[in-house]
Amino acid sequence: MSSEHKPVVSENISKTFGQVTALQNISFETERGEMFGVIGPDGAGKTTLFRILATLLVQTSGNAFVDGYDVKGDFRKIREIIGYMPGRFSLYGDLSVEENLNFFASIFKVNPKENYYLIKDIFRQLEPFRNRKASALSGGMKQKLALSCALIHKPSVLFLDEPTTGVDPVSRREFWQMLDRLKAVGITIIVSTAYMDEALLCDRIALMKNGIMLGVDSPAGMVASYNNKLLAVKGDDMHSILKVLRDIEVVKSAYSFGHEHHAAISPDFGGDAVEKISQELTARGINDALVKRINPSVEDCYMELSAK
C-alpha cells in the first residue's frame, strides 16, 4: 500500500496496445473531496486511463494508487471502495430501475436504503419509473440510474467517464448539480469530459491529447498561465480571414472558435496587436474584419498547450 493515501495517485502511467501508445507517462494526484476533471477530445486516452484506475485494465508501465491501494496488487480492495460509471450505459437493460439498484446493493452487501441520502435527489426523479426496464429509460434517466448504482455503497472515490456525452443540456446541468452535492459529503470525484465548458465546474483539471497530459491546474490557474496576447477576429469571409491570419508572421496560431476566429500573438510582440492584425488584414484585401483583444478560456489554453 502507498504511504501517500491520496484519493488517486498516478505515477508515469503508460499503456500500449501493440504498436499504438494510448497513454504516455501520465502523472497526477488528487485531493480528498476534490472534483478533478480530465479534459480532452475523443482519442485523448481518457477512457484508457479511467479503466486502469478502476482496475479493469493493466498498465504497461508506471504505478497508480487509489486510496493508497495499488491498482494491480490490490484490485479487489479497490473495487470495494470506488464507484465507476463508464461512458457507455452498462446496466442490465432487462431489469427494472429498482431491480438494478437492488442488484448492485447485493453485490456490495449493503442495504439499498443505507446510503439513500446520497441518491435521494436522484431517486426522486427515478421514482415514477422504478418498475420500468432500464433499456426503456431516456438518456438522462439512464445516466441518473447509472450514477445511483455507482453510489449505492458510498464509494470514497467516484470515477465518471464522459457521463454527460449525448445528454440534453438540462440533464447535463442537473447532473453537475448532483456532483456538487456529492463532493460536499467528501466523495472525491474524477470525471472526464470532452466539453470544455464543464472544465470550469471542476476544482482542478488535467488537459489531455493523444495520450499525453498537457497540464494540470485549476481552471483559473490554467487561464492565468496563458502567455499569448489573444485576439478575436470576425468578418464576412471567415474562410479567407482564417487563411490570412495563419499567414501573418506574428500570429502563433489561429483557429475557429464559434462565430469568431481566435488569433494568438506572441507575448514578445511589443506593439498594438489589434492595430497590427487589422493593418495586415486590410493590406491583404480584407476591409470588414472586426478585431478585438479578449481574455483566454480553458479551450484557448488547450489549443496553446497542444500546439507545443
Whose CA is closest to 36, among 279, 172, 155, 202? 202
Distances (CA, A) of 308 to 70, 225, 252, 253, 301: 33, 14, 11, 11, 11
Whose CA is closest to 145, among 185, 100, 82? 100
Say yes or no to pLDDT of 164 above 60.
yes
Say yes or no to pLDDT of 204 above 60.
yes
| Sequence-distant (≥ 6) Cβ neighbours of residue 229 within 8 angstroms | 264, 265, 266, 267, 269, 273, 293
- The model's pLDDT over 285-294, given as tens digits with 9 standing for 90+, comes to 999 999 999 9
Torsion from C-alpha of 140, 7, 26, 264, nearest 10 degrees: 60
- The model's pLDDT over 11-51, given as tens digits with 9 standing for 90+, comes to 999 999 999 999 999 999 999 999 999 999 999 999 999 99
> Residues of 207-237 as b/e, b for ≥16 C-beta within 10 angstroms?
bbbebbbbbbbebeebbeebebbbbbbbbee
What is the rounded average pLDDT of the residues 189-197? 93
Which domains are assigned to the chain?
A: 8-223 (3.40.50.300), 227-306 (3.30.70.100)
Say yes or no to pLDDT of 64 above 90.
yes
* DSSP strand pairing (260-265 vs 251-257): antiparallel
Q: How far apart are the first and last CA of the chain?
A: 37
- The model's pLDDT over 116-150, given as tens digits with 9 standing for 90+, comes to 677 777 778 888 898 999 999 888 888 888 988 89
The pTM of the full predicted model, rounded to 2 decimals, is: 0.89
Residue given cell 480584407 in the structure block: 286
